[in-house]
Amino acid sequence: MSSIFGAQAAARNDGQKAHQAAVTTSVEIASNLTLAIQREQDLAVSAGGFVIGNPNASLDQFQRWAGSTQVFERFPEIQGIAEVVMVPASQLSTFAAHVEDPSAGLNPSGQPFQVTPPGARPYYCFATLSQSRTSQPLTPVGTDLCDTVLGPGLMSTRDSGEGAYLPYGTGSSAEMVVGTPIYQGGVVPTTVQARQDAFIGWTGTEILPSMILADALRGQHGTEASVHYASGTESATFTAGAAPAGAQQSTIELHNGWSVQVYSLVGGSGVLGNPTVLAFLLGGILLSLLLALLVFVQGTSRSRAVLLVHERTDQLRHQALHDSLTGLPNRALILDRIGQMLARGRRQHTPVAVLFLDLDNFKDINDTLGHRAGDELLVGVGTRLGSALREGDTVGRLGGDEFVVLTEGASLASGAGIVADRILDVLSTPFEIADSDVPLAVTASIGCAEGDRSTPEELLQDADIALYQAKAAGKRRAVCFAPSMQKAVDDHRHLEVDLQGALLADQFFLEYQPTIDLSTGVFTGVEALIRWRRPERGVVQPDDFIPALESTGIIVPVGTWVLQEACRQGARWHEQGYRFTVSVNVSARQLERDRIIDDVHDALKTSGFDPGSLILELTETALMHDVEQTVTRLGLLKALGVRIAIDDFGTGYSSLAYLRQFPIDVLKIDRSFVSGISDTTESAALVHTLVQLGKVLGLETIAEGIETDDQRIRLADEQVDTGQGFLFARPLSVDDVDRLLGVPAGKSGASVTASSR
């Protein structure tokens, strides 16, 4: 505005009419420039806020942010935007490995990371996150921007807290690069040292100044303006407008390498007729443009800090109410919307319902294809669910593979069951996932709850209870809540409460089921089986309480107790001269922790039990959870001298390739195959295959659940090594085992004798 006032003073004697025309023209140009700068300042604040709030953002996340912000639609002058980081030489190899890691998503082209130009330097400046108008990378991977003409300006901004603008490129491809320093917390520290310590990186923006000039001069005919930069061997010129023949040039030096040339006709009186005043006016306006750009990139700007706070507040508010992966409403927002839905239902007397959805066997996808594939699938499921709903209904994600659907009014004309069926149908089409060679078939279980409730939590909880029933009924189905379901939930809750104190109250005890050499009838060992004597309810069967132990995590301390008790009893039998094996079941929850190695070591050391006589039994599912860590832990357990068995073998999904990774000693053939060996050719063929697999891998085979002499004979003919089942003995107390040792089994001619080995 000072340029405008100066022009007015210089032209006052040239006539009031010309003066008013000049003022109008200058105000229009200045207003256009101010609007353009303010809009770009908003973008710079938003970009800085994204970088501060997402320090580990992927390229895909940054590009999604750029798309949601509509960078290129709102700012036609912007050609690209990027985050630039400074990498010390000591961290170069680590940074290169990170860029080349496909999971980081920073190198879509897959080109090897190579510093350009090559050479050893104290530090390097690389663009990591970027988006361009052409969708092409702003700079090739590995380009060191600090070794270009931009380098001195970028480093100056880090220490000064002020932004810098420099030309980049030559000829028609020349652009202006605006570098804005970013500091932790979004506020520029007050000292150089503090700025260096809090420095995160830069927001780099490539713009075409000619487009800003053209926009600012819109409607101003007969005028051309050029902004020129020259410093050393570097030069660039940006031009807008068109001057007619006979136009005269006026040049304004702006120092620091920049100058302005104005071309216009000279004639008449007033501002437009005085070449000196005209140059002063337009040159001042163009000077205001560059000064405004400088203000735009100054990190010390109070307004920038305030805008950044507002931007971060909006982001935090959105993050607090939405799922970060799918963008769907999260639990907090879902509960709020259920409350609104219930209020509308009471007021308008319309039906309402919540559908609680859980993907079946989603964990298997994470375990086999990885979490990135799982995340992609969850995003796809969220999109599919949205497509199955009517306008006004809501789909949200509660976490993991759990989604919730809110529906009301006309959507429930045929009942919640029809909505659930529609959801199951829309999920039935396999999903195309980048990390899977074949489409993934996905099923889901759905629990629904309809009608009014006193609180949103109550309606959601009833849907959750129904979901539990749906999964228990066989998955891929929908079940609606009934009051009778609450009793089952209450019983389960009481069960969990009682289990919490069962270990301290010494309510657990062990029984032991013998294993028999099928070729000789020799008693070879026992399997330790946990039992629970529940006060006032008697002995509880394992199937009734072990799942609760697993789900609550109590299985970990209880499993430790089982190891100690079984090893103690095994050592006692060894002292009596009966040197047979003792098998102990280890849960997946125990195997997830390194503590299992210490637990086994302590149990062996405290009891003095022979490690070679301890067999740890694990299911295929437990083995397949985090295969790499499982192999490591099993190796450490084997180093203690114990043996490893796969329990219920054949019922899981282990392939031969996976099986060979694990240091396994024993395969236990599941009872479901044993029970059918006399009746179906399929079971007989499976048993034969499993036994042969064991022989190829040099593993002992044990058949579970032998109940008839015919089964025993057939299994012996297949050369199964060891058998276990009611044919020989049920699980026994310690006293019963003591009485059995050395006594014939007395069943169908099979004998059981104690082994002294």
pLDDT at 391 over 90: no
Q: How far is CA 675 from CA 45, 527, 613, 687, 724, in A?
A: 70, 20, 28, 11, 12
Q: What would the pLDDT profile of 326-351 be if each residue is shown by its tens digit?
A: 889 999 899 989 999 999 999 889 99
Q: In terms of pLDDT, which residue wins out, 409 or 167?
A: 409
Mean pLDDT of 596-612: 95
CA dist., res. 706 & res. 745, Å (int): 14
The model carries a pTM of: 0.46
Across the beta sheet with 234-241, the strand order is 234-241, 223-231, 258-264, 248-253
Q: In terms of pLDDT, which residue wins out, 272 or 554?
A: 554
Whether 543 and 637 share a structural domain: yes
Whether 66 and 166 share a structural domain: yes
| 3 state DSSP class of 115 | coil
Q: What local confidence, expressed as pLDDT, does residue 748 receive?
A: 35
CA dist., res. 714 & res. 235, Å (int): 92
Instruction: Find the helix or strand (DSSP H, E) in which 513 lies.
Output: strand 508-517
Q: What local confidence, expressed as pLDDT, does residue 103 receive?
A: 73
Strand partners, 405: 355, 395
Q: Which CATH number characterizes residue 468's domain?
A: 3.30.70.270
- Rounded to a whole number, what is the distance in angstroms from the first to the last CA of the chain? 102
What DSSP line would sit under 465-509, residue for residue?
HHHHHHHHTTSSSEEE--THHHHHHHHHHHHHHHHHHHTTTT-EE
Contact criterion met (CB below 8 Å) for 393 and 407: yes
Q: Cα dihedral angle (477, 481, 484, 489), rounded to 10 degrees?
A: 80
CA dist., res. 176 & res. 167, Å (int): 4
Rg, Å, the chain Cα set:
38
Q: What would the pLDDT profile of 428-463 be if each residue is shown by its tens digit?
A: 889 988 878 888 888 999 999 999 999 999 999 999
Q: In terms of pLDDT, which residue wins out, 93 or 70?
A: 93
Q: How far is CA 245 from CA 191, 224, 592, 714, in A?
A: 54, 12, 82, 108
Q: What local confidence, expressed as pLDDT, does residue 250 receive?
A: 65
Q: What would the pLDDT profile of 471-509 be if each residue is shown by its tens digit?
A: 878 888 899 998 888 777 777 677 778 888 888 889 999
Whether 142 and 12 share a structural domain: yes
Residues, the chain: 757
Whether 276 and 191 share a structural domain: yes
* 310 occurs within a structural domain: no
pLDDT at 420 over 80: yes
pLDDT at 619 over 70: yes
Q: What local confidence, expressed as pLDDT, does residue 298 receive?
A: 43
* 603 occurs within a structural domain: yes
CA dist., res. 406 & res. 383, Å (int): 15
Lowest mean pLDDT among 98-102, 215-219, 621-625, 630-634: 215-219
Q: By C-alpha distance, which of 520, 522, 542 is closest to 533?
A: 542
pLDDT at 267 over 90: no
* 608 occurs within a structural domain: yes
CA dist., res. 208 & res. 167, Å (int): 10
Instruction: Find the helix or strand (DSSP H, E) in which 102 lies.
Output: none
Q: By C-alpha distance, which of 729, 745, 739 is closest to 526?
A: 729
Whether 554 and 460 share a structural domain: no
* Confidence band for 124, pLDDT divided at 50, 70 and 90: very high
Whether 73 and 220 share a structural domain: yes
Q: Which residues contact 383 (CB under 8 A, 6 or more apart)?
A: none
pLDDT at 27 over 60: no
Whether 245 and 366 share a structural domain: no
* 83 occurs within a structural domain: yes
| 3 state DSSP class of 709 | helix
- End residue of a domain, out of 238, 262, 297: 297
Q: What local confidence, expressed as pLDDT, does residue 254 receive?
A: 54
Q: Which CATH number characterizes residue 242's domain?
A: 3.30.450.350
- End residue of a domain, out of 235, 263, 297: 297
Q: In terms of pLDDT, which residue wins out, 568 or 362?
A: 568
What is the β-pairing status of strands 234-241 and 223-231?
antiparallel
* 47 occurs within a structural domain: yes
pLDDT at 44 over 80: no
Q: Which residues contact 186 (CB under 8 A, 6 or more apart)?
A: 48, 49, 52, 305, 308, 309, 312
Task: Report residue 517: phi and psi, to 5°.
Answer: -70, 115
Mean pLDDT of 7-30: 45
Q: Cα dihedral angle (232, 236, 241, 242), rounded to 10 degrees?
A: 80
Strand partners, 229: 236, 258
Whether 233 and 382 share a structural domain: no
Mean pLDDT of 17-35: 44
**What's the whole-number average pLDDT of the chain?**
79
* 304 occurs within a structural domain: no
* Confidence band for 173, pLDDT divided at 50, 70 and 90: low
Q: What local confidence, expressed as pLDDT, does residue 580 receive?
A: 94
Contact criterion met (CB below 8 Å) for 175 and 149: no
pLDDT at 358 over 80: yes
* 756 occurs within a structural domain: no
DSSP 3-state percent helix, strand, coil across the chain (nearest 5): 50, 20, 30
Contact criterion met (CB below 8 Å) for 77 and 207: yes
Whether 250 and 374 share a structural domain: no
Number of folded domains that form the chain: 3
Whether 282 and 224 share a structural domain: yes
Lowest mean pLDDT among 149-158, 257-266, 497-506, 667-676: 257-266
CA dist., res. 462 & res. 446, Å (int): 12
Give ∠ CA 63-378-431 in degrees, rounded to 5: 100
Q: By C-alpha distance, which of 743, 712, 744 is closest to 519?
A: 712
Q: In terms of pLDDT, which residue wins out, 396 or 154?
A: 396
Q: How far is CA 626 from CA 9, 474, 596, in A?
A: 79, 26, 15
- Give the structural domain span for 407: 322-482
Q: What local confidence, expressed as pLDDT, does residue 652 receive?
A: 56
Q: Which CATH number characterizes residue 559's domain?
A: 3.20.20.450
* 750 occurs within a structural domain: no
Q: What local confidence, expressed as pLDDT, does residue 242 receive?
A: 76
**What are all long-range contacts of 620-623, with beta carbons under 8 Å and residues at least 24 apart?**
620/646, 620/648, 620/649, 620/651, 620/652, 620/653, 620/654, 621/588, 621/652, 622/586, 622/587, 622/588, 622/591, 623/591, 623/654, 623/658, 623/662
Q: What local confidence, expressed as pLDDT, does residue 11 receive?
A: 47
pLDDT at 396 over 90: yes
Amino acid symbol at 479:
V
Mean pLDDT of 78-83: 86
Q: What would the pLDDT profile of 548-603 be if each residue is shown by its tens digit?
A: 888 788 899 999 999 999 999 999 999 998 989 999 999 988 998 889 999 999 99
pLDDT at 751 over 50: no
CA dist., res. 107 & res. 140, Å (int): 10
Query: Would you tell me the crossing angle of helices 595-607 and 627-639 to the nearest 10 degrees?
Result: 20
Across the beta sheet with 402-408, the strand order is 394-399, 402-408, 352-359, 444-450, 478-480
Whether 538 and 593 share a structural domain: yes
Q: By C-alpha distance, which of 151, 179, 144 is closest to 48?
A: 179
Task: Report residue 406: phi and psi, to 5°.
Answer: -110, 130
CA dist., res. 724 & res. 702, Å (int): 7
pLDDT at 46 over 60: yes
What tokens were used for 596?
A: 């299992």
Across 23-27, 105-109, 693-697, the highest mean pLDDT is recorded for 693-697
Whether 656 and 515 share a structural domain: yes
Q: What local confidence, expressed as pLDDT, does residue 229 receive?
A: 72
* Confidence band for 252, pLDDT divided at 50, 70 and 90: low
What tokens were used for 371?
A: 């979490």
Cis peptide preceding 140, ω within 30 of 0: no
CA dist., res. 320 & res. 333, Å (int): 9
Task: Report residue 83: phi and psi, to 5°.
Answer: -100, 130
- End residue of a domain, out of 450, 482, 514: 482
**What are all long-range contacts of 190-195, with beta carbons under 8 Å and residues at least 24 apart?**
192/159, 195/158, 195/159, 195/160, 195/161
Q: What percent of the chain has pLDDT over 90?
A: 27
In 535-685, the DSSP E strands lie at: 538-540, 581-585, 614-619, 643-649, 666-669
What is the β-pairing status of strands 352-359 and 402-408?
antiparallel
